[in-house]
Amino acid sequence: MTISTGESLITAADIDDLITRVRQTAGDPGPLESAKATLFSGDGDGTGPDPETARLIRQRLLVTALRHGGALLAKLLSRLSPRETAMVRRYAHRLANFLDTLEVWAAQPVMLALMRFGLPYGEAETIAVAVTLLVG
Summarize pLDDT for 24-70 with one digit per residue, the tens.
Answer: 988 899 999 998 898 887 644 556 788 888 889 999 999 999 999 98
Residue 31 and residue 22: Cα distance in Å, rounded? 11
pLDDT value at 6 more than 60:
no
pLDDT at 54: 87
Amino acid at 112: L
Amino acid at 54: A
Contacts of 97 (CB under 8 A, 6+ apart): none
pLDDT at 134: 87
pLDDT tens, residue by residue, 79-113: 899 999 999 999 999 999 999 999 889 999 999 99
pTM exceeding 0.95: no
Q: What is the mean pLDDT of residues 15-28?
A: 90
pLDDT band (50, 70, 90) for residue 136 = confident
